[in-house]
Structure 1
Amino acid sequence: MSAGNSAAAHAAQVGRGRLWQRLLAGAGYITPGYAQAQQQARSWGEGAVGEAWTKKLLAPLAGESWWVLHDRRIGDRANLDHVLVSPCARLVVVDSKRWRADWPVRMARGRVCRGPVDVTEEVAKAGRLAEWARQTVGAESVLPIVAVHGAPVAGGGFQEGTVAVLPADRLLAELRSIAGQQDPRAEELAAKANRLLPRYVQ
């Protein structure tokens, strides 16, 4: 399953809503629940596009001794957009976000905001999932990254707790800067990640 497929499938599933909601919508009456389902579907659809864009950005790393895994499951229902192992055996977990271009992403009073919306919890969740992945595969450390498509990111990127929040166009340069020297443990770590973080199937 390619990156973004689980998000796209979820978007389609959520967007359909319940049968009675679809029938009412066909008759011109939109229930609050159906409207909410449509909004959620749009959000998941945008997420799927962001994941696909990030997958394309990461493609060159496959020829640079990186291991790159996309759309991986952790636990019963959570998924990791992109899991990478660097040549120096460092685990990296990238969470893709596609956010509206007219809402800058910035720190404000100790909170992460995109325009007027507080997204601190979304960023913190990316950090928690990355740490969970680290524990699952037994890596020594993990670098969680939120890669932002669309919206400008203040200062060209910033750190919130353990999580690096970066504009997507800086992602590749940031990863290359931490590639380090080839470590024979990297292949073993990548094999464990591939086995213990299976492909996400919606």
Structure 2
Amino acid sequence: MTAWAGLNPQAAAADAVAARWRLGAEAERETARRLRALRLRGWRIRHDVRLTGRRFNLDHILVSPCGTAVVMADTKRWPVGRTVTAAGDRLWCGGEDRTGEAEKAARYASLVAGVVGVEVWPLLIVHGSRVAGGHVQVGTSSGLVQVAAVDQAVRVLRAAPAGWSWSRARGVAARVDEVLSPYR
């Protein structure tokens, strides 16, 4: 009660953090719901996993139907009313530099690629803020990162390498399951 009344700044700060976590969790669930449509196209999808021995979580891991690539998708809940743009090697959400988020996604994708043994593409899926043109990409020191509005993510993923190889996709998914575990 004192946080609401503005009398306890520490409690107010804790309430704000809890609210951000709740919004982030809701966005991750909405992303997962939207990504389900890819299962019918042969994609294998894992949610909320981590590399064994690591502390960070990976929101979504997707294995392409051809088995030649894995996508590491990170859901972001950024402020409504802002536009996400990429200019050169910088990612912006309104006037805020979000390049660090792209760098982190690229590093995580690189770590996953090292243990899975296939290319891993980083994708940021944005809720709240509008992404200019629905989809942008930004170059980072660790590689190219795709950034898509939540309503464009499935379209972006469907543009990945075409073809089907059930055996290769099954093998890559098995390797993903070996090296990634549920995040708790």
TM over 0.5: yes
Structure 1 segment 82-97 matched on structure 2, within 5 A: 82-89=60-67, 90-97=69-76
The residue number in structure 2 matching 1:148 is 126
Corresponding position: 1:48 with 2:25: yes
Range that drifts further, 128-137 or 33-42? 33-42
CA distance 1:119–1:189, change in 2 (3 Å): same
Q: How many residues align?
A: 177
46-55 vs 109-118, greater mean Cα deviation: 109-118
Report the counterpart of residue 146 of structure 2 in structure 1: 164
* Partner deviation per Cα, 1:139-174 (whole Å, 9 max, x = no partner): 2x1111001112111132211121101111111111
**Mapping of 1:106-185 within 5 angstroms?**
106-108=85-87, 110-139=89-118, 141-161=119-139, 162-183=144-165, 184-185=167-168
| 8 Å contact from structure 2 (residues 135, 148) kept in 1 | yes
Q: CA contact under 8 A between 1:95 and 1:147: conserved in structure 2?
A: yes
The percent identity for this pair of structures is 38
Aligned to 1:192: 175
Partner of 1:142: helix, strand, or coil? strand
1:98 aligns with 2:81: no
Give the residue type in structure 1 aligned to 2:24: G
Q: Secondary structure at the match of 2:47?
A: strand
Unaligned runs of 5+ in 2: none
CA contact under 8 A between 2:76 and 2:125: conserved in structure 1?
yes
Matched, 1:65 2:42: yes
Aligned residue for 1:4? Answer: none
Distance 2:111 2:89 in 1: 24
RMSD: 2.0
1:125 is displaced (CA, Å) by 0.6
Would the aligned equivalents of 2:86 and 2:137 in 1 still touch at CA under 8 Å? no
Deviations 1:84-134 (A, max 9, x none): 100111111111112222111113574212122221101211111111111
What is the CA-CA distance between 1:179 and the residue it aligns to?
4.6
| Higher strand content, 1 or 2 | 2
Q: Which residue of 2 aligns with 1:77?
A: 55
* Secondary structure at 2:57 match in 1: strand
CA contact 2:44–2:63 (8 Å) conserved in 1: yes
